């Protein structure tokens, strides 16, 4: 079990999230204060927002000492995660999407084996038997399942069942080994992290999650899927 001697950084990558940012950070902070026994910090990793996100994030960091703000001048969720994770001094780093689609009750089960030193990399899964997915559009569900089948065909030894779930964690040691190998700066970062981790011999801890889809998401499903497929071919055949 984690103790006060352990430390955890929860990274929230954001791009133009002026609406969701403050209520989500307030909710996450309240949860961590109540449920996390170790030292913790929330890092808002802003990748080139051009709305009021920077001002809101700075205000939150000034209001709450457990919240910090990191600004990157270039877009890219993967780029923001890599920078925040590599700069962290915490024993374990994790990330979740700002809409908090994953139920926060899964956070401690995700990170506890890493804080205890029994696992190095962890991911949430919406496709395990005990997972629960709510309000996900059929197109997103279909493309996600097809994509994970494609991973299974191209990487038959892989053990993880949901590459794209926005809910992942790694120890500081694993981050410093894996992050420099990850070339993608966008959404394929998640898949590449897991593929590089298994190639390095890490056993991936998987947690079934309750996931409520965000209807306001601006992610382009087809464009993202195509970039992810190109990423798979890069990793499999030459990257």
Active site residues: 190
- Give the residue from 48, 62, 59 showing the smallest Cα distance to 13: 48
CB atoms under 10 Å from CB of 183, counted, come to 14
- For residue 44, with 0-12 CB atoms within 10 Å meaning exposed, 13-18 middle and 19 or more buried, which class applies? buried
Question: Is residue 18 classed exposed, middle or buried when 0-12, 13-18 and 19+ CB atoms within 10 A define those classes?
Answer: middle
- Kind and range of the H or E element at 212? strand 210-212
39-47: strand order across its sheet? 67-72, 39-47, 7-14, 92-96, 167-171, 121-125, 204-208
Q: Which residues contact 65 (CB under 8 A, 6 or more apart)?
A: none
**Cβ within 8 Å of residue 229, ≥6 positions away:** 147, 150
223: which DSSP letter?
H
Planar angle of CA 66, 70, 71, nearest 5 degrees: 150
């Amino acid at each position: 079990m984690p103790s006060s001697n352990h430390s955890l950084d929860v990274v929230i990558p954001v791009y133009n999230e002026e609406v969701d940012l403050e209520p989500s950070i307030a909710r996450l902070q309240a949860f961590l204060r109540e449920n996390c026994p170790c030292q913790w910090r929330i890092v808002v990793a802003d990748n080139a927002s051009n709305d009021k996100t920077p001002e809101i994030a700075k205000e939150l960091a000034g209001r709450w000492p457990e919240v910090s703000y990191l600004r990157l001048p270039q877009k890219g969720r993967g780029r923001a995660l890599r920078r925040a994770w590599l700069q962290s001094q915490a024993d374990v780093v994790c990330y979740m999407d700002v809409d908090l689609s994953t139920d926060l009750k899964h956070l401690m089960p995700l990170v506890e084996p890493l804080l205890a030193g029994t696992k190095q990399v962890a991911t949430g899964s919406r496709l395990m038997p005990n997972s629960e997915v709510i309000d996900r559009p059929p197109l997103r569900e279909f493309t996600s399942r097809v994509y994970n089948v494609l991973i299974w065909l191209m990487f038959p030894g892989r053990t993880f069942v949901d590459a794209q779930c926005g809910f992942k964690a790694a120890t500081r040691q694993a981050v410093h080994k894996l992050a420099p190998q990850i070339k993608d700066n966008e959404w394929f970062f998640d898949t590449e992290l897991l593929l590089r981790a298994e190639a390095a011999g890490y056993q991936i801890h998987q947690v079934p999650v309750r996931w409520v889809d965000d209807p306001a998401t601006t992610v382009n499903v087809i464009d993202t899927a195509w970039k992810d497929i190109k990423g798979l071919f890069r990793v499999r055949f030459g990257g």
